[in-house]
Amino acid sequence: MTSKRILMGNEAIAFGAMKAGLQVASGYPGTPSTEVMETIASHASKYGIYAEWATNEKVALETAVGAAYSGANTLVTMKQVGLNVASDPLMSLSYIGVKGSLVILVSDDPGPHSSQTEQDTRAFGHFSNIPVLDPSTPQEAYDMAKLAFRLSHEMEIPVILRTTTRVSHGCADVVTEDIEPAGRDIEGYVKEPRWTIFPKLTAQRHPWLEDLQIRISDRFSDHFSENTFNSISKGNSKIGIASSGVSSLYTNEATNKQTGTFSHFKLATVHPFPEKAALEFLSDITDLIVIEELDPYLEEQFLQLIGRHHLDVNVYGKKNGHFPVSGEYDVDVVIEGVNSSLQSMNAEVPLLTHSTPVVARENIPSLPVRPPTFCAGCMHRTVFYAFKKAAAKLKKENGKGTVFSGDIGCYTLGNAQPLNMVDTCLCMGAGISMAAGLSHTQQYQEGNYAKQVAFIGDSTFFHSGIAAMISAVYNNADITLAVLDNRTTAMTGHQPHPGIGLTAMGNPTKAIDIAEVLRSCGVDLVETIEADDLGKCIETAKMAIEYEGPSAVVFKGKCVGITKATGQYVIDEEKCTGCNFCVSQLGCPAIFSMSSGIPQIQDNCTGCSLCAQVCPSDAIDLREVLQ
C-alpha cells in the first residue's frame, strides 16, 4: 500500500531507510541533518530498529560499520563538517567494504546557514571513492534512500546520500509505502581476513576499488531505464544545461518559459560520474552550461570528459566566472548565470526573464537588524558575564589579561557585544586544544596573560573535549575549562547526550558525570556550581583562573528553550536611575532601552534574575512567580 503525506526531506530519508529494511542507525546531531535520526528514533521501537546518538561522528560511523560487518542494514547521519570527524574510518572503509549495507547521510549547508564552512560532500565522495547520490526533492530523497541501501548491499561498499539545506528542510508531498518491522535476521559477524586492514590488504583491494568505480559509473548511466533520478530532456538548440541537487529545481523554474530551447541533463548519481550518459548528452550540443552550488564538481567532471574524448564543446560555469563560486543559489542566481553564459557565447536565443519583476537591491526597504544572541534567561550569559568580571578583577590586581577560547554551540554567541567573550572559535573541541597551545606560547611572554580560558558545552565535551583535556593535562597546559552544562544538545534541537541519562530512543541509561570525568583526566581543581548565583560564579571563576595548572568549573543550569519560565521581573521606575547598565552590560533580548530613559522588561523574560543581580540601583524586582 502507498500513501501520500507532506514530509520534510529529512523525514522522507528516514522513511525511505526504514522501508529499505533499516536495522541499526547511529549519528551525531548537526543542522541540517538532525531530523533524519530524530524521525528514526521516534519509530524505532515500532519497527524493530536500534537507534542511537553517538558521542561524535567518528564513533557513529564506526558503530554502524561494526553492525554492517555483522550483515545488518545500517545508517549513519551527520552534517558536512561532521564528515571531517568521521573521515579517518571512512577512508579505510572504502577499501574494506561492508557485508550488509551502510548508508552515510551527510547534509551540506550552502550559505552557510548554521555551519563553519560550505564544504561540498560530492568532492569527499570522489576523494574516498565512495558513491554519492544527490536528491533534489523530498520524493527523490525517499526513493534514493532506498536505492542507496540496495546499491550498498549489491556493491558491498558504503554509499553517501548527500543532501543540502533546502532539500533536507524543504517540505513536499511524498508517496511512501507501508513499512514492515525489520524481520530479517542479522547473520552475525564471521571472521574473515578482509575485516583487518593492513598494507598488504590495501594493495590487494585498491585495484578492486578502482574497478568498482567503473562498474558503478556504468550502473548509474544505465539507470535511465529504471527510474528518473538521472534524466535528459532534449532541446531544439545546441545549448545544454547540466545540474544536480536542488539546483535542478532552480534551473527548471528559471527556464520554464523556454523549456524547448535547452537540453537538460539532471544528475542525481553524481559520483562515480555517469560517463556514458554524459557522453550521450554531449553528443548533441556545442555549448554546456553547468549549474551547481558550492564546488565546481560537475564542471570539472565534464571538462575532463570533454578533453579526454576531444569533444568540441564549450563549458560555462564557475571557472570562467559565470556563476558564483560560493553561497546558496536561487532562481535569480541561475537566471543571471545562464544569461551571462548566453551573452558570452553570442547565442541566438532569447535571454531568460524573471517570472516576477526583480526589485533592485537599493529599492528594497531596510529591515530591523536582529543580531543573533542568547535567549532571554540563558545560563550561558551568566557564565560569560561572571568570567568577564573575574578577568577584570584579575587585570586590576596584577595587570594581566585573559584570552577566551570558544567552541561550537549556542555559547559561540558569547562573541557578540556587549559580552565580547569569545576570542577564538575553530571547530568542535578545539577551544581546549587552542587554549593549551596559547598557554605554551604566552607563558614565554612575561606579564602578558594570566590564564587561558576555554568554554565548552556539555554535548561538545563528550564529542571531542575529553581527549583534548587529557592532552592539556598531560602536557602541563595552564588552562581553565568552563563547561556550560545545560543538560542538552541545545543548538541542534535538544537531543540527549551521555550526561543526560536517556538514550535517543528514550530509554533510561547511566548518566556520565562530567566533573568525575575531568577528575579522572587528571584535573586537580574541579568545581561544580549552579549558574544562577552570579556572585558565586564570579568568585569560582576567579579562583579557577588563579589556580596554577589545569582547572575546571562545571556550570549547571537549564536550557530555557525546553523549560518553563520560573518568573518575570519588572523595573521599579521610582528606583531606576536610567543608567541602562542592565541593557549595556548583558544584551538580554528581554530588556529594551526606551526613549524615556527607563528600560523596559518584556514578556519573554524567563526569570533568571541576572539583571536584578547586576542592577546598581536595586531597581529590578520579581513581579510574579510562574507555575
Domain co-membership, 525 together with 572: no
If we measure between CA atoms, which residue out of 347, 355, 329 comes closest to residue 108?
A: 329
Question: Per-residue pLDDT averaged across 257-269, rounded?
Answer: 91
- 117 shares its domain with 46: yes
Contact 36, 43 (CB under 8 A): no
CA dist list (Å): 51 to 9, 39, 508: 19, 10, 14
- Is 449's pLDDT higher than 70? no
Cα 515 to its chain centre, rounded Å, is 28
Whether the pLDDT of residue 366 is over 70: the answer is: yes
Binding residues for [4Fe-4S] cluster: 576, 579, 582, 588, 605, 608, 611, 615
Look at residue 355 and tell me whether its pLDDT is greater than 80.
Answer: no
* Strand 314-316 relative to strand 591-592, pairing: unpaired
The residue-averaged pLDDT of 371-386 equals 91
Which residues make up each annotated binding site? 576, 579, 582, 588, 605, 608, 611, 615
Residues 592-625: tens digit of each pLDDT: 888 788 999 998 999 999 999 999 999 999 887 6
Which residues have a Cβ under 8 Å from the Cβ of 531 and sit 6 or more positions away?
379, 382, 383, 484, 537, 555, 556, 557
Q: Is residue 430 part of a domain?
A: yes
Q: What is the pLDDT of residue 450?
A: 66
pLDDT tier, 534 (very low <50, low <70, confident <90, very high otherwise) = very high
218 part of a folded domain: no
95 plus 43 within the same structural domain: yes
pLDDT in tens, 46-82: 999 999 999 999 999 999 999 999 899 999 999 999 9
Please tell me the predicted confidence (pLDDT) of residue 191. 76
Kindly state the DSSP code that residue 615 receives in the 8-state scheme. Answer: -
| Domain assignment of residue 194, yes or no | no
pLDDT in tens, 476-500: 999 999 999 998 888 888 988 989 9
pLDDT at 229 over 50: yes
Mean pLDDT along residues 163-189: 88
Amino acid 255: pLDDT: 94
The pLDDT tens digits of the residues spanning 314-330 come to: 999 999 999 999 999 99
Q: Is residue 36 part of a domain?
A: yes
Range of the domain at 395: 379-556
Task: Say yes or no: 576 and 550 in one domain.
Answer: no
Q: Is 212 part of any domain?
A: no
- What is the band of 533 on the pLDDT scale with cuts at 50, 70, 90? very high
**DSSP 3-state of 291:** strand
**Domain harbouring 336, CATH code:** 3.40.50.920
Residues 527 and 410 placed together within one structural domain of the fold? yes
Are 448 and 317 in a shared domain? no
Please check whether residue 179 lies inside any domain of the structure: yes
> What secondary structure does DSSP assign to 150-217, as a single string?
HHHHHHTS-EEEEEEHHHHH-EEEEEEE------SPP------GGGS--HHHHHHHHHHHHHHHHHHH
Domain termination site, one of 531, 556, 581: 556
Q: Identify the pLDDT of residue 141.
A: 97
How confident is residue 102, by pLDDT bands cut at 50, 70 and 90? very high
Residue 111 lies in a domain: yes
Q: How many domains does the chain have?
A: 4
Residue-wise DSSP of 405-455: E--SSGGGGGGSTTT----B--STTHHHHHHHHHHHHHTTSTTSEEEEEEE
For residue 410, what is the domain's CATH number?
3.40.50.970
Q: What angle in degrees, to the nearest 10, is found between the helix axes of 430-442 and 466-474?
A: 20
As given in the structure block, the three cell numbers for residue 205 are: 583491494
Three-state DSSP at 495 gives strand
CA gap 492, 470 in Å, rounded: 27
Lowest-pLDDT range of 448-452, 461-465, 580-584: 448-452
Verdict on whether the full-model pTM lies above 0.75: yes
What's the confidence (pLDDT) of residue 225? 44
Q: Which of 118-122, 223-227, 297-301, 392-396 has the lowest mean pLDDT?
A: 223-227
Q: Tell me the C-alpha distance between 457 and 459, whole Å.
A: 6
How far is 134 from 16, CA to CA, in rounded Å? 15
pLDDT band for position 513 (cuts 50, 70, 90): very high
Whether pLDDT at 236 is above 50: yes
Residue 445 has pLDDT above 60, yes or no: no
Predicted pLDDT at 49: 95
Which pLDDT score is estimated for 432? 92
- Mean pLDDT over 270-298 rounds to 94
Within this chain, do residues 79 and 178 fall inside the same structural domain, yes or no?
Answer: yes
Note the pLDDT of residue 193.
Answer: 74
State mean pLDDT over 107-133: 90
Do residues 408 and 497 both lie within one domain? yes
pLDDT for 444 beyond 50? no
Note whether 432 and 293 are same-domain residues.
Answer: no
User: Domain end: 345, 370, 397, which one?
Assistant: 345
| Whether residues 392 and 327 fall in one domain | no
Q: Tell me, what DSSP letter sits at residue 89?
A: H
Rounded Cα gap, residues 142 and 161, in angstroms = 11
Calculate the average pLDDT of the chain.
Answer: 90
Same domain, 482 and 568: no
Nine-digit cell string for 295: 564546488
Phi and psi at 314, nearest 5°, equal -90, 140
The verdict on 520 and 398 lying in the same domain is: yes
Average pLDDT over residues 551-580: 91
Cα 18 from Cα 21, distance rounded (Å)? 5
Residue ending a domain, choose from 556, 575, 592: 556
DSSP string, 351-414: PP--SSPPPPGGGSPP-------PPTT-HHHHHHHHHHHHHHHHHHHHS-EEEEE--SSGGGGG
Reply yes or no on whether the pLDDT at 443 is more than 60: no
- Mean pLDDT for the stretch of residues 512-522: 96
pLDDT of residue 321: 96
What pLDDT is recorded for position 619?
A: 92
